[in-house]
Amino acid sequence: MVRFAPCARTDWHSHAVGQTLHIVSGTALVQARGGEIVEVHPGETVYTPAGEEHWHGAAPDRFMSHLALWEGPGDGGTETTWGDKVTDEEYGGPRAKRR
């Protein structure tokens, strides 16, 4: 279980194994590099394939909690490759609601 304060987000990163995020509370924002920012709500699940650079965090006006699950033997930490910080401009970009 990971909890984010409003506006908090990870840096850009990727995983050696796939990652699944299940939103428990609040509004999550998730973006794959080159894709649109997607709003994700409680009860919804997002999958990020192995090697895909992405970030996730809370919407500006909501706390957010998610369960983070990894495929295979990854431990959720040592198999993560961290990149640049997500800029305010990237974080504030246009959002799409899940379909």
Q: Is residue 94 part of a domain?
A: no
Question: Domain range spanning residue 42?
Answer: 2-73
pTM: 0.90
Q: Is residue 91 part of a domain?
A: no
CATH for 26: 2.60.120.10
Q: Is residue 92 part of a domain?
A: no
Round to whole Å and give the CA distance between 36 and 29. Answer: 10
Q: Is residue 85 part of a domain?
A: no
Six-digit token string for 25: 């509370």
Round to whole Å and give the CA distance between 91 and 16. Answer: 24
- 8-state DSSP, 81: E
DSSP 26-75: E-EEEEETTS-EEEE-TT-EEEE-TT--EEEEE-TT--EEEEEEESTT--
Q: Is residue 67 part of a domain?
A: yes
Task: Show pLDDT as tens, one digit a residue, over the chain (99 residues).
Answer: 999 999 999 999 999 999 999 999 999 999 999 999 999 999 999 999 999 999 999 999 999 999 999 876 655 556 899 999 999 999 999 888 776
Q: Is residue 27 part of a domain?
A: yes
pLDDT of residue 96: 86
